[in-house]
Amino acid sequence: MSSAASLASSLLRREILDLHAYHVPDSTGYIKLDAMENPYSVPPALRGEIAEAVASAAINRYPDPAATSLKEQIRGVLGLPEGMEVLLGNGSDELIQLLAMALNKPGATLLGVEPSFVMYRMIATFTGMRYASVPLTTNSGAADFSLDLPATLAAIRREQPALIFLAYPNNPTGNLFPADAVVQIIEAAQGLVVVDEAYYAFASDSFIPRLARYPNLLVMRTFSKLGMAGLRLGFLTGDAAWLAQLEKLRLPYNVGILPQLVAGKLLAHHAVLLQQAEQIKRDRAGLYRQLSEIAGVRVYPSEANFLLFRVANAPEVFDGLKRRGVLIKNLHGGHPMLNGCLRVTVGTPDECAKFVAALQDTITQLA
């Protein structure tokens, strides 16, 4: 071992040494359906306007640390209820980290359900916070990924979590947990419940209108799935009493001047982004139908911009798709309930057609 490696392994926290970094595969040259991005680029009519704004941006100066105008715009465009504050993050990943740092009193627990977004567990590990989880349910041996409400309520009583994350809809399963079950969790929890609405643009419900009812509820959203993954912009919204405290942990210039400017331009054309989301929802329905007609494929219902599906030999199917130029996400091996599972982002109609053809071809060849 080199002297730097031995020094690092003696100085670093055990849980960091044991951690695997979040893996992002090289997607160069592939039809990229692995990361729940919006497949549509910036509308041509907007490009000139964005280029002009970027060209005259004061990038020699620090950005507005309060991002006042962008926050006002978010409040207006998304119709946030009166009195609800906004805290911006460099992606919602950063906000998960900020919440864990803020609530990690000695012995405090972060509770999640599993399988869900892996960063909840990873960030609990980074921040040295205790992590507990409740499995989603299985139905006749095969996972259907619904919320196990009795087990979740029992875990809340047992673990007394300071912080609970619920992805609504859930990633990587795509389903939207029943609102009344989420309400029961919020009502039973002594700690803070964060409803993570990363996929809100593709879903039929939101907890934002319910914010005022629950003092222990915050809603988190991201613009990553709405065409701005490259900007890194997410936000938390909820009562000012929470957000004023959390604001103290936000690094002063966490959202750069270019993301602030470009997101402002895009949000001024929010209707265009919503039209793209509507297109993706229509294409999701078509893709769901097509996948459900392929023998050997079990596809799960989704209110997000991706579909989870199960096949007999997921790693081989994943490799076969890659060889045919299509990159999706292999979830096999990540969690026992996800064995045999693959996740595909809803791309453009052309990308979806190429994916389906490659999948049919791969499955036929493997049979």
Q: How far is the CB of 19 from ligand PMP (least distance, A)?
A: 18
Contact status: 224 vs ligand PMP (CB under 6 A): yes
Among 93, 159, 303, 351, binds ligand PMP (CB under 6 A): 93
Cα 117 to the chain's mean position, in Å?
Answer: 7
* Angular region, 184: left φ>0, alpha ψ -120 to 50, beta rest: alpha
- Token code pair at residue 266: 């895009």
What secondary structure letter does DSSP report for 303? S
Cβ atoms of 231 and 259 within 8 Å: the answer is yes
Among 38, 67, 74, 91, binds ligand PMP (CB under 6 A): 91
Contact status: 37 vs ligand PMP (CB under 6 A): no
Q: How far is the CB of 93 from ligand PMP (least distance, A)?
A: 4
Cβ atoms of 184 and 156 within 8 Å: the answer is no
- Nearest C-alpha neighbor of 219 from the set 186, 189, 245, 187: 186
Contact status: 85 vs ligand PMP (CB under 6 A): no
CA angle at residue 314 from 310 to 320, to 5 degrees?
125
Among 38, 92, 152, 302, binds ligand PMP (CB under 6 A): 92
Contact status: 259 vs ligand PMP (CB under 6 A): no
| Residue 73, number of CB atoms within 10 A of its CB | 18
Size of the site for ligand PMP (CB under 6 A): 13
Contact status: 346 vs ligand PMP (CB under 6 A): no
Contact letters for ligand PMP, residues 94-133 (x by CB under 6 A)? -----------------------x----------------
Whichever of 166 and 356 has its CB closer to ligand PMP, that residue is 166
Q: What is the rounded distance in angstroms from the CA atom of residue 310 to the CA atom of residue 173?
A: 11
Contact status: 164 vs ligand PMP (CB under 6 A): no
Q: What is the rounded distance in angstroms from the CA atom of residue 158 to the CA atom of residue 134?
A: 12
Contact status: 218 vs ligand PMP (CB under 6 A): no
Cβ atoms of 174 and 308 within 8 Å: the answer is yes
Question: What residue ranges bind ligand PMP (CB under 6 A)?
Answer: 36, 91-93, 117, 167, 171, 196, 198, 222, 224, 229, 234
